[in-house]
Amino acid sequence: MEHRRQVSKAEIERARELDLLTYLQTYEPHELVRISSAVYSTRSHDSLKISNGKWFQWSTGVGGVSALDYLVKVQGMDFVSAVLRILECTRYATPTKTYTPKRAKPMDFVLPAPHENNDRVAAYLTGRGLSEDLLNMYFNMGLVYEDRRHNCVFVGFDKDTVPRYAMLRSSDPSSTFLREVEGSDKRYSFSAPHSGSETLFVFESAIDCLSFIELQRMENPLRRPDNYLSLSGVYRPGEGRRTELPAALQEYLSITEGIRHIALCLDNDEAGRSAALAICAALPDKYTVELLPPQSGKDYNELLMLTKGIPPNIRVRKPKERRER
């Protein structure tokens, strides 16, 4: 490849014309992983998803259309080298676009079929520190169950108790499989509301949410439950525009009366702290807000396992792979 310090405006424009899916299909087919009929990922970055001509990396909150942005923002190439890489590739093989850039048809939301029991999910979640009586309560409420593929299913309901959201998490401790059920509406992420409480505790994941409840019960078994909400992922505020609340939090506050105090129990890392500060800035003044990251560990499940003396035998996503646990 030719080494230069600069590239022309025309060369940059030509490089930007190549979308990521076409680039991978033509020049790096070994890197492309098909998730469904219209969704792809990559072997090196499983939190990156490509759909309808666009790509988004959930672990970092960056996305786009072009292969050029992918090489720079995800692969870490300098801009000039990335432009030259694409020009070099297209010099020898002309790419052919294989997608039609039109709005994808919304998928109907359907909960995965349940397994005949919750045994494997119960074993997995007790291995992460949750007690059997707490799990049985949520199994009976239909908020958590085991599907036929033995995944943990964390269900979110709307105000009419109609299921509208579900997150899947493998019950195999060695797996990092995690994804939303197609057609899920993120406004209705996993939550555990309790009328009469004025406090809402907010988490990144359902497992952290349940872990916090477990810690509360350990401290005081007679404690009256509060309201609990999972954002189902790392909240990343938009750059260059007014910060808005996460969809799940906005919806929860709009349909739940009596909330006065919000405790942000996000992860104790840079992404979690940044998200908590952004949410604080976006919340209306009528709410009091508390930043409540775990005192030890990265998240409340780690804190629960440390508190119970459980060795960390669960495989989790690395920081660059994180989308939502």
Q: Supply 196's token pair.
A: 């009469």
Q: How do residues 127-185 score in pLDDT, each as one tens digit?
A: 999 999 999 999 999 999 999 999 999 999 998 999 999 999 999 988 888 899 999 99
The pLDDT value given to residue 54: 86
Q: Does the pLDDT of residue 241 top 70, yes or no?
A: no
For residue 283, give every residue at least 6 positions away whose Cβ sits within 8 Å of its Cβ, in sequence order, or none.
245, 262, 289
pLDDT band at residue 321 under the 50/70/90 scheme: very low
Most confident of 85-89, 97-101, 108-112: 108-112
Please determine, for residue 324, whether its predicted confidence score (pLDDT) is greater than 70. no
Q: How many CB atoms lie within 10 A of CB 181?
A: 19
Q: Does residue 250 surpass a pLDDT of 70?
A: yes
Percent of the chain predicted with pLDDT > 70: 86
pLDDT bin (cut points 50, 70, 90) of residue 103 is low
**Residue range 256-278, pLDDT digits in tens:** 889 999 999 999 988 888 889 99
pLDDT of residue 141: 93
pLDDT in tens, 16-38: 989 999 888 888 888 888 877 67
Q: What is the pLDDT of residues 52-94, one digit of tens each?
A: 788 888 777 788 889 999 999 999 999 999 999 888 887 765 5
pLDDT at 93: 58
Query: Is pLDDT larger for residue 98 or for residue 9?
Result: 9
User: What does the mean pLDDT of the chain come to?
Assistant: 86
